[in-house]
Structure formats: structure tokens, C-alpha cells
Amino acid sequence: MSRLSRAAVHRAGSRDLHLTSVEVADPAPGTVLVRMGASGVCGSDRHVLDGDWTLPSPTVMGHEGAGTVEAVGEGVTDVEVGDSVILSWFYPCRRCTACVSGRSYVCTGSRSEECLLPDGSTPLSLDGERAFPYLSVGSMSEYAVVPEAGAIRIPREVPFDVASLIGCSVATGFGAVVNDAGVEAGTSAVVVGTGGVGLSIIMALQLVGANPIIAVDLSEEKLVAAKAFGATHTLTPSDGLAEEIRRLTGGGAAYAFEAIGRVSTIESLPSLIAAGGKAVIVGLPPEDSPISIDALSLAEGGKSLIGSNYGSTVPGRDFPRLAQLFLAGRLPVDRLISHRITLDEVNEAFEAMRRGERARSVIVF
């Protein structure tokens, strides 16, 4: 059997999403049917719409979602009907060397990036044509079918709009600070780019006690938001940015995070950190984006430049932790949401993102 689900569909060559009905199959063994409660509108989706990344087509977009388990396939034991779940856009295979060693964030057996379920199938079809859920989630739809490992139970008290952001931007930003950089209390940090991920980085930096926390962005609106989330200083990009950061930190930041995915800002990261400092690439650039780095300066300064994918998140461990931090009032994820919208407003939300507006739009079903 299958059900019709209204969804936002992307076809190659178009910057706009088409709102239509897709067929969603019943959950096969090892998979879970989720009635979506909310879906974030994320920059990773925009990369696809703008042609920066190549995907199979047609694609039901959205990878940052949460909802209620409506049915489970044979053999599923992690979740039950009625559970509130956050969907993970990088489901682990649970069998490869990385997974069994506790590093599921570098799983080599996942087929998420192919937009396929573990058996190579897809639960979606459109007018008799095979359709693909973006990153094996497809959260911009009333229903989604995901692997068991990609549906993480959380307390029912967490609103779906908040839970959806935990599934990507918050986990990515928090994980970059805690899992990848290992920021210590009292150390300085700079965050370049204060969209949803950048603000999540700032929230995490405040939580672990970093000081000072310097936010850098072109948008005055976003810098005001950065201050509200814990930034102690705000700066706009300029030729003297590195010198100003050195002045504020006494020689350079201990940590720097790039949360845009732009080649020029990634290349500037080493100039923002002190000797022995660590720079973290969190924003994802377009495909085939080589960068130029002064390797001698990096080596002589004992500086580290590392990549952060999903904040090295282990969803089954980290999503419940983040949910509990929100419920305890220590991680104000709800304040990230600047606009709650309907599915019909999704193209408008992406246009606002392209203009550099809004902190985070969330589709509420």
C-alpha cells in the first residue's frame, strides 16, 4: 500500500520547488513511517536548488525534520508508533568499522548521500516515476519513510519546530564546538557567519563558557541576533578584521568557526587564530571548491584547520542530550526560529535566505 503526501519537489535545473502530491510507500522491514510535524529550511537545501550540489531528480527536499512515528516495518525495535522522533540526515549502517568504533558520523556504509534507503530503494514515487528523499529524509512532505537508525526518539515535550532544528543546524553547530573543537571554558572564539548554524555555534560556545565570543557577519540584523545568543562582540568583515580580532583576544582567537561555506572566508580562518589555535570549517561549500592556504604559516604557528561534518554527531547519543538541554532551559533553540511558515511559503523562505534575511524559517505541518 501507499499514501499520498503533499510535498515540495525539486527537479534538476529549477531554483523553485514544485508543490505536489507524491506517493509514499508503507514502511519496509527496518524502516519507519513518520508523520511530519516540522521541517527546517536549511542552507544545504539551497545549495541543491542553486545548482551547487548535484542530486538525483526528482527530489523531495528537506533533511531537517521531526514528527510522530505512524507505523514501523518488520524488525524495528528502536521506536514505536506514537513516539516523537528527530530524523537524522546521515543514518549509520551500524556495521562498518567506523560505526562499531563509535564514529558513526564517518560511516562508510550509509547511503544517505545517494538519497536511498539501506537496500538501495526509495519509498517515493511521483506520477509513476521514482522519486528521491533528500539525504534519505525528504522532510518537506507530510510523510517520510526513513531507516530505523535515522529516527531518534526524544521526549514528547519537545515541540516539533524545535526538534527539527536539533536534527541538523543545532547538532552541527553544537557538535563543532563540543565534539570537533573541544572548546574549553575561558578560551576565545570567533564565528564567521551567523545564520542558523552560526547561532547554534554561539549558543554552544556560551554554554561551555568561551570568552570572548566574537561574531562576524555582513547583516546587522544577524549580528543583533548573535548578541542575543551570547556573542560578546560583533564585527563586520573588513580589511582589518584579523587585526581587530587579535586586539580583542590578545593575539588571535583560540578557536575560529566558518559557518557559511564560502571559499574566501574559509581561506581567512588561519589568520584569525593564535599560534596553536584551531580553525573549524563548518559551512559546506559548493562542489569542487579548492582553497588556498599558506601552509608554512599554518605549520610554523602550530595551527590546526579541520573539517566538521554534522559536528561529528552521533544522533542516538546527541539528539536526546540536546533535547534535554532545551527542556532544561540551557539551549534556547526556540529563539532560533524567526519565521514559522506553511509548506506553501517554502519558495519565499529560500528567497529570503538568498537575500541574507531571517535566522531560521521552519515549516510547520
pLDDT (tens digit, 9 = 90+) per residue, 98-122?
999 999 999 999 999 999 999 999 9
Over residues 47-58, the pLDDT tens digits come to: 999 999 989 999
Q: Which residues of 55-75 are buried (b: 16+ CB within 10 A; e: fewer)?
A: bebbbbbbbbbbbbbbebbee
Which residue in 161, 221, 240, 230 sits closest to 199, CA to CA? 230
Q: How confident is the model at residue 69 (pLDDT cuts 50, 70, 90)?
A: very high
Query: What is the mean predicted confidence (pLDDT) over 29-45?
Result: 96
In the predicted model, is pLDDT for residue 238 greater than 90?
Answer: no
Give the pLDDT score at 2.
84
Per-residue confidence band for 357, with pLDDT thresholds at 50, 70 and 90 = confident
Query: What percent of the chain has pLDDT above 90?
Result: 93
Strand, coil or helix: 107: coil
Q: What angle do CA 116, 122, 127 make, to 5 degrees?
A: 135
Query: CA–CA distance from 94 to each of 118, 148, 170, 302, 346 (Å)?
Result: 11, 11, 23, 36, 34
Instruction: Please say whether the beta carbons of 267 and 294 come within 8 A.
Output: no
Nearest-angstrom CA–CA distance, 171 and 182: 15
What pLDDT sits at residue 57? 94
Angle, CA of 23, 1 and 63, to the nearest 5°: 40
Strand partners, 23: 4, 125
